[in-house]
Amino acid sequence: MPDKSPLSRRRFLKTAAGASALAAVPYFVPGAALGKGGAVPPSERIVVGGIGIRGRGMHDLRWITGHADVQFVAICDLQKKQRLAVKEFVDNHYGTKDCAMYPEINGFLEARPDIDAVLIATGDRWHAMASILAMRAGKDVYTEKPSCMTIAEGRAVVETARRYARVYQTGTQRLSEANHVFCIEMARTGRLGEVHTAYAHIAPWDAAEMRHDWLPAVAEPPKDEVDWDAWLGPCPWRPYNPAYVSGGWRGHYDFHTSCIGEWGAHTFAQAQAGLGCGESSPVEYEYVANDSGDGMVTHFASGVRMILSRGNKYWHGSCGERFDGSEGWAAAADGYAQPDVSSPALLGEFQRVVSQYVARTGRSLDHMQDFLDCVRSRQRTVANPEVMHHSMTTVHAANICMWLKRSLKFDPVKEEFAGDEEANRLRARAMREPYVY
């Protein structure tokens, strides 16, 4: 595979042809183009493109273009209005008209060997597929969560990143936020004593059991407006309805990972990090007779428990995690000025705990910056493919437990359920041609 890294472009610019081109400029080269005044010269910038940017993706777009060492150059989106919206934002940001638009992912990846990394913020059904295609094309990947629809998809992302030596970050950004880092480190380093239980937040809307019906059929728009076949991607064929395209896909089995996946994609990774199980999954899932999974107890091989919780029993706010140990507890969620702790004295260690984490890992407390740093260094990100896969395996196993309405035992090494063929069949879904990996 051709070398498409930033380094190869820098080598090119140092060739005689590159030098001659620069020499041909007769009078003036802007200082920003040379890296003066704090600007990053083009040869040192990470060239980025986007796939499926809207909603949360626009937040990510503002985030990544806010880094001076990034040049965002192209958007691939199967909706024309979104292509135009992203182009308008990017062109206004840079004061140019240069952002290119592409309606189809394979053509986009083939046409842009100059792109180093892609930002993926499609609907859930496309996260893994787009990541796999991009990594095969030599791109590093930052993708929104939930990052896979099945256990099998998660494993495919891991193997693709490994085979093609790609940097990958999933958008579980709380792994890089100081309040959550503090709680995770308090549990991981023994400052709470022997941790016996973690709690992980699941979304307070929808249910674990999702819809299997279809929305009423509506005449499809022109392909240039919305490519409906591509929108469905690997999912089964369904008749077009505009509600799907505007976000109404949530709660449907074909397209979603339930209330458990909606927030569990974040919080399971947070809780598992503090338990030292970031690259493993629970071995047992206890069925609870409700519609959401609230109160489900999962057990790790170490004997430590992680309990799924809906509502604000253990925190206030959203996407929270809590760790209970023999000498205290700590919890955090969105909107906290500081973590909640069992004793005010624990907060006295806040700065030291977070500083020690940064010193030990060398990581930024900016999730996007961690990704960009790793694009340059080729080190693993904090939310690397293995962390994503094992936390999402927990999501999928908990969903399967709820769907089958029985407790399950799981082997996180073999990635299979013990003695339960019906559960094992649900580790993967049929994928519609040609959207297969």
pLDDT at 132 over 80: yes
What strands, in cross-sheet order, belong to the sheet with 140-143? 100-102, 70-76, 46-51, 117-120, 140-143, 168-170
Q: Tell me which amino acid residue 176 is.
A: S
pLDDT of residue 6: 41
pLDDT of residue 28: 39
CB count within 10 Å of CB 42 equals 15
pLDDT of residue 38: 57
Q: What spatial distance separates the first Cα and last Cα of the chain, rounded to whole Å?
A: 18
- Phi-psi bin for 276: left (phi > 0), alpha (psi -120 to 50), beta? left
pLDDT of residue 435: 96
Confidence of residue 40 (pLDDT cuts 50, 70, 90): confident
Confidence of residue 39 (pLDDT cuts 50, 70, 90): low
For residue 306, the cross-strand partners are 198, 298
Phi, psi of 48, deg, nearest 5: -125, 145
Q: What is the DSSP letter of 408?
A: E
Q: What is the pLDDT of residues 303-334, one digit of tens each?
A: 999 999 999 999 999 999 999 999 999 999 99
pLDDT at 416 over 60: yes
- In the predicted model, what is the mean pLDDT of residues 119-134? 98
pLDDT of residue 301: 97
pLDDT of residue 71: 98
Q: Select the more confidently predicted residue: 428 or 39.
A: 428
- In the predicted model, what is the mean pLDDT of residues 125-148? 98
CATH class of this structure's domain 174-208+257-364+385-425: alpha beta
Same CATH fold, 174-208+257-364+385-425 and 45-166? no
Task: Tokens for 35, please give them.
Answer: 């890296």
Residue 367, C-beta contacts closer than 8 angstroms, at least 6 positions apart: 169, 171, 172, 173, 175, 176, 177, 382, 383
CA–CA separation, 214 and 276 (whole Å): 41
- Phi-psi bin for 366: left (phi > 0), alpha (psi -120 to 50), beta? beta
Domain ranges of the chain: 45-166, 174-208+257-364+385-425
Q: Select the more confidently predicted residue: 30 or 409.
A: 409
What percentage of the chain exceeds 70 in pLDDT?
Answer: 91
CA–CA separation, 186 and 236 (whole Å): 45
Confidence of residue 41 (pLDDT cuts 50, 70, 90): confident
What strands, in cross-sheet order, belong to the sheet with 297-299? 340-341, 328-332, 321-325, 195-201, 305-309, 297-299, 284-285, 408-411, 416-417
Where does 45-166 sit in CATH, by number?
3.40.50.720
Q: What is the pLDDT of residues 241-265, one digit of tens each?
A: 999 999 999 999 999 999 999 999 9
pLDDT at 363 over 90: yes
Do the beta carbons of residue 393 and residue 155 sit within 8 Å? Answer: no
Q: What is the pLDDT of residues 229-241, one digit of tens each?
A: 999 999 999 999 9
User: What average pLDDT does the structure give for the chain?
Assistant: 92
Burial 118-143 (b: 16+ CB within 10 A, else e): bbbbbbbbbbbbbbbbbbebbbbbbb
Task: Tokens for 361, please give them.
Answer: 């890992």
Do the beta carbons of residue 56 and residue 80 sit within 8 Å? Answer: no
pLDDT at 4 over 80: no
- In this structure, the strands spanning 305-309 and 328-332 are unpaired
Lowest mean pLDDT among 25-34, 91-100, 382-391: 25-34
pLDDT of residue 144: 98
- In this structure, the strands spanning 321-325 and 305-309 are unpaired
Lowest mean pLDDT among 36-50, 269-283, 310-324, 414-428: 36-50
- In the predicted model, what is the mean pLDDT of residues 327-354? 97
- In the predicted model, what is the mean pLDDT of residues 33-48? 72
